[in-house]
Structures are given as C-alpha cells and as structure tokens.
Chain A
Amino acid sequence: MNSIALVDCNNFYVSCERAFQPWLQGKPMVVLSNNDGCVVARSPEAKALGIAMGTPLFRIRDQITQHNIHVFSSNYSLYGDLSQRVMASLQQFSPMVEIYSIDEAFLGLTSNQHHSEYGQLMRRVIKQQVGIPVSVGIAPTKVLAKVAMEVAKRSESGVFCLACGEDAEPILRTMPIGAMWGIGQRLTEWFTARGITTALQFKYADSGLVHRKMGVVGQRLRMELHGIPCLPLELIPKTKHETGVSRSFAEPITTLTDLQTAMAVFVSRAAEKLRRQGQLASVMAVFARTSHFVESPMAIFHTVALPAPTNYTPVLLKWSGAILQVIFRPGYLYKKAGVVMSGLQPMSHRQGDLFDQSLSLEREKQLMDVVDQLNGRFGRDTINFGITRKRQDWRTRCTRRSPRFTTCWDELPTVKAGTFEVTPQSRPLFVILAPDQRGMFSGAPPLGS
C-alpha cells in the first residue's frame, strides 16, 4: 500500500534565522509578526520560558531583558526563499509533492521503500543542503500522517511511521480531539459536550452524529483515521480566487492624502501579485479602519466592479484614489487599510471589449513587464508610481529584521577568513550592511541591550 509522508520544518522562521547565524543555536529567540506586533515563531528555548504563540511584544519586554531573548522582525524574503529551496529539494524524494504551506509538504511514497530510513534520509539531506531541520510523519493517510507528526516532533529521531490505522490507536487515545487536524475550537466544544474528548473516541464515534455536525468533511476525517485514504494529494496548486494586501500603520493616518498614498502602495503590490500569478481582477475592494480598541471603532469600505478585468496598476490606482475620495471620513485615526482583488481570471482568457483595445492592452502589458523586471532585478520600488512616494513613515515597522541573506547582494552572510574567536558572545545581534534605499531599516540594536 502507498503511504503519505508529511514533512514539516521545525520552528521554521527561527530555523531560517539560525541557518545563517549559527551563534543563535541554543539561544532563546522569537520572530515577530508584520509591524513587530506579536510573536509568530519561537525557538524551543523560548517555548520553555513559557512564551506563548501570538503574545504581543509589549507583554514580554521584561522577559526579553531578563532572559536575553533574541528578537527578530519577520524577514519574509529569507523565509520565502528557504521555503522554496526546501520544497524543491523534496522533489528528489518523490515525484508527488503537495506544498501545503510555507513550511509543510505532503509526499506520496510507494510501498517498496523502507519508510523510516527514507524519512531519515530526507531529514539529513534537507538539513545539510538547505540548513533547515525538518520532522517527518509517515502513514497510510494524510490525517494519520498529521498524527504521526505529533509524535515525530517530540521524538529524538524526528521521524515517526504508522504502518496502519490500528498502530495509531495508542496515540489517538491520549490525543485531545482539539489537537486533531480540521477540528477547531467550536467543534471541540460541540464534541466535548457529547462526551467525545479524544481522537480515539472520534474515530469510533457514531457515524450519523459526525455526519450531522460536519457533513462529508467529518466522514472523510474519520475514514482517514481508520487508514482509508479520502484526501488525495493536491499536486496542482489551487488557483487563487482572491488576492489582497493590507497593513497596520505604526502611526495612525488622519488625512485623505496620506490614506490615498498608503493605499496606492497596497494597490501597486496587489497588482504586482496579480501579474505574477498571471491573473486579472474584475472586482476591487478597498477598506480602512480605526483600531478595534478605541471607544467607537469605525470602518470605511467600498467595492467596485471594474469596467474590464485588469492588472494594470495605473487603472487600479485611479479607482482606489477615487473610491477613497468618496468614502473617506475625516476626524478618525485610521489604524489599518488594505485592498482586496477578486473575480480573478487568467490573463490568457482576457476578452476584448466591443471597442477593440487590444493594441493598448498589449502596451499596458509591456509597460508592466518592464516595471516588474526592473523591480525584480534592482529591488522593490526601484520604480513605482509617483503617488506612492509622498509619505513613507507609516511603512512596515521591522526594526529588528535580519539581513536578506539569500536575496540581496548587499546583505550576504559573511564568512570569516581569520583568527578564531573562542567566545562569539560579544557579537552584536546583527548589522544591516547597507542602508535600505528608502532608509527604512536602521539596524536597531537588539532589545534589552
């Protein structure tokens, strides 16, 4: 029988930072969300200190100083590149790879492989070649592979195999139902109220009961626990139905011009994404809102159906500017804004309209190609649209971002050709080698120093 291997990168963002900064090995460290808001990744040492996922930075300032925790802004250029490398490396182990998230993939394995050893080999190769430690859970179905992963992560070897459904039962017995893949908070409460508290109880729960609550999704989950595959590998990435860009502002925005400027950057980014995905948007929604935590929170929102599907930045900018003009309400502190593009369709299906514009469409495409190529080669925002340059200070706050080690010539890791330092403890956390063109990153000293 064929098997499924789930490969999961251990504390992925933390591992990415350590791959090029080996002196961080064994040190407590956390990575923060966009805008340095809250903790999105923790090293095992930070977990051991009791720092929970999602904790806001301000709540752990004392702990940071006390335990000398290293704090990083998220560095998505680095994580994205290393993720691609891990996924590409996995192709050598199986022709069937489903990229499930930035740090997880399912692989199809055939029966004649010695699964445990094969898992060990994957682990060794990914660690040596990309520098990222991974865990591997292998089982007859995806859901059981997730269960195997729970064990693999806690084991010394980092690999765990389940040959069949029955093998999983001792694990399922101690596994709370909420820890199962696809069972969220609400379902956990619902099942708990009916006396179903462990994954094993769920496996043998009344089929009608599960069906009533969860429909066919629940049935599949149960079947997979029994070792019957119901969730095939998705080898072709799903086409996106929506794409968007939004940010919180470090300092709230109060004027229409500033909001239009900020929105222009988001729209430019979203348009760039559309072009990269080879898609056109037929609907655009823009929104802005105040903080949720003020006395009377307020949001402005408007959706517009575009006259013709497009990914041409100037047209989208014209619309977003005009919409804000209409819906803007003065006298509020806007904390977050964004744009969502939907009604997406492939560029190849573009329909001409009644008044043939194919020549100008082709020109638009050529212009955008040039813009994207220049930005791709010389860095983001090498060229952009005038309106996006008016105001800069609301941009993403990421003062503790490490260098973009793999995607930027000015920020390559340095290797030393010289004497050996016995104690690298005195080293600064990191130094941004070249100041960003926009002067965004000041290479701030580590917290607590």
Chain B
Amino acid sequence: MIGFPLMQVVHRLSLYACPVSAGFPSPADDYLEGRLDLNQYLIKHPTATFFVRVTGDSMIGAGIHTGDILIVDRALEARDGKVIIAVVNGELLVKRLRIEKKKVYLASENSDYPPLVITDLMDFEMWGVVTTVIHPL
C-alpha cells in the first residue's frame, strides 16, 4: 500500500515541464496552457460534424481537389454562396449553393461543369455546410 500513492504523485508531476526534485521549477510552469487542439479550432458542433472524402474535380476553383477530406457541419444554416453537401437524386454532391430570388441552383467551380438548377421534380435535400478543406500538399 505504501508504494501506490507514491506512484500517483510521480504521475501527476510528469505533467509539468520539469519535476520539482530537479531544483528550481521552470519559470514557464505557471504559463502552461495545454497544446493547441485542431479539433477545437475546426469543429464548432462536434455532434453534427462529419468528414467526407471528395471524388471529382468540379470544385477545383474553390480549392477542393479529388481525394481531399472536407469537414462538414450539419448544424450550420446553408446560405447563398456557401459550399454545401447536398443529396440530389440519392447522391451526395459537393457544390456551391446559389439562391437568386426564387431560383435555387448548385454551381460548380470549374467551367467544364454547368450549374444545376433545382426543380420540384428533383429529389433534393440539404445535407450540410462545408467549413474546411483538408488538402495535403
């Protein structure tokens, strides 16, 4: 039983920049703030955030390449100009949302692909808003 609490103390100290037994404590110890956390920075709504992988080049003008990972926040409101994930006829697509007067269309960022006007006949659903592209260099 004697050794057990001792081990716990050693554990706790290891969090600091230097152990007390080494002499003077590091002057930085009072300023330790924890590492920067990308999750915290990039994800505002953890329960509503999903990652998806891109295939195709129609969004290349927005810096979205094939093979990239997108961070999608489903809690954000899809507004005009946002890059969104939409379900069109049962398929997940990444497009830029355009809302003009009463017309809604999905634009590409590549002149090879014409915009798609959403009509009542289409099976259309807003899936989420893209907040970030993860693109390895």
**Interface with A: B20-28, B33-41, B87-95, which one?**
B87-95
Least distance between B69 CB and chain A CB atoms (Å): 7
Least distance between B64 CB and chain A CB atoms (Å): 6
Contacts A85-B47, A129-B48, A356-B1 given; indicate if A417 touches B66 (C-beta within 8 A).
Answer: yes
CB interface residues, A 328-376, toward B, < 8 Å: 352, 356, 358-359, 361-362
Q: Is B52 interfacial (CB-CB < 8 Å)?
A: yes
Contact between B7 and A414 (Cβ–Cβ < 8 Å)? no
Contacts of A89 in B (CB 8 A): 47-48
Contact between A130 and B54 (Cβ–Cβ < 8 Å)? no
A418 to B113, CA, bound (A): 7
Contacts of B125 in A (CB 8 A): 22
Least distance between A90 CB and chain B CB atoms (Å): 10
CB interface residues, B 112-137, toward A, < 8 Å: 113, 116, 125-127
Listed residue (A20, A361, A415, A419) with the most chain B CB atoms within 10 angstroms of its CB: A415
User: What bracket does the count of chain A residues touching chain B fall in?
Assistant: 35 or more
Contact partner, B55, options A20, A130, A415, Cβ 8 Å: A415
Residue on B nearest A412 in the bound complex, by CB? B53
Q: Is B75 interfacial (CB-CB < 8 Å)?
A: yes
Contact partner, A422, options B3, B47, B85, B89, Cβ 8 Å: B89
Contact between B93 and A362 (Cβ–Cβ < 8 Å)? no
Contact between A361 and B4 (Cβ–Cβ < 8 Å)? yes
Contacts of B16 in A (CB 8 A): none
Contact partner, A415, options B2, B4, B85, Cβ 8 Å: B85
- Map CB proximity to B onto A397-433 as digits: 1 under 8 Å, 0 otherwise: 0000000011001001111111111111000000000
Contact between B90 and A352 (Cβ–Cβ < 8 Å)? no
Q: Is A88 interfacial (CB-CB < 8 Å)?
A: yes
What DSSP secondary structure best describes chain A's contact surface?
mixed
Contact between A406 and B50 (Cβ–Cβ < 8 Å)? yes
User: What bracket does the count of chain B residues touching chain A fall in?
Assistant: 35 or more
Contacts of B52 in A (CB 8 A): 412-415
Contacts of A352 in B (CB 8 A): 1, 4
Contact between A421 and B47 (Cβ–Cβ < 8 Å)? no
Residue on A nearest B11 in the bound complex, by CB? A362
Contact between B92 and A130 (Cβ–Cβ < 8 Å)? no
Least distance between B123 CB and chain A CB atoms (Å): 8
Q: Is A204 interfacial (CB-CB < 8 Å)?
A: no
- Map CB proximity to A onto B71-102 as digits: 1 under 8 Å, 0 otherwise: 00011000000000101111111110000000
Contact partner, A421, options B1, B4, B64, B89, Cβ 8 Å: B89
Contact between B51 and A412 (Cβ–Cβ < 8 Å)? yes
Q: Is B56 interfacial (CB-CB < 8 Å)?
A: yes
Contacts of A420 in B (CB 8 A): 88-89, 91, 93, 116
Contacts of B46 in A (CB 8 A): 88
Contact between B92 and A416 (Cβ–Cβ < 8 Å)? yes
Contact between A22 and B113 (Cβ–Cβ < 8 Å)? no
Q: Is A157 interfacial (CB-CB < 8 Å)?
A: no
Contact between B3 and A424 (Cβ–Cβ < 8 Å)? no
A228 to B54, CA, bound (A): 54
A416 to B75, CA, bound (A): 21
Q: Is A128 interfacial (CB-CB < 8 Å)?
A: yes
Contact partner, A362, options B7, B64, B95, B113, Cβ 8 Å: B7
Q: Is A63 interfacial (CB-CB < 8 Å)?
A: no
A423 to B50, CA, bound (A): 26
Q: Is A385 interfacial (CB-CB < 8 Å)?
A: no
A422 to B91, CA, bound (A): 10
Contacts A414-B53, A417-B57, A418-B58 given; indicate if A129 touches B45 (C-beta within 8 A).
Answer: yes
Contacts of B74 in A (CB 8 A): 128-131
Contact partner, A23, options B3, B91, B93, Cβ 8 Å: B91
Can you give 25 contacting A-B residue pairs, CB < 8 Å? A22-B125, A23-B91, A24-B90, A88-B46, A129-B45, A358-B4, A359-B3, A359-B7, A361-B4, A362-B4, A409-B51, A412-B52, A412-B69, A414-B53, A414-B55, A415-B53, A415-B85, A415-B94, A416-B55, A417-B56, A417-B59, A417-B108, A418-B113, A419-B113, A420-B116
List residues of B whose CB falls within 8 A of some A CB. 1-4, 7, 45-48, 50-60, 64, 66, 69-70, 74-75, 85, 87-95, 108, 113, 116, 125-127
In the A-B complex, the 5 residue pairs with the smallest Cβ-Cβ separation, listed nearest first, are A23-B90, A418-B56, A417-B56, A358-B4, A129-B48
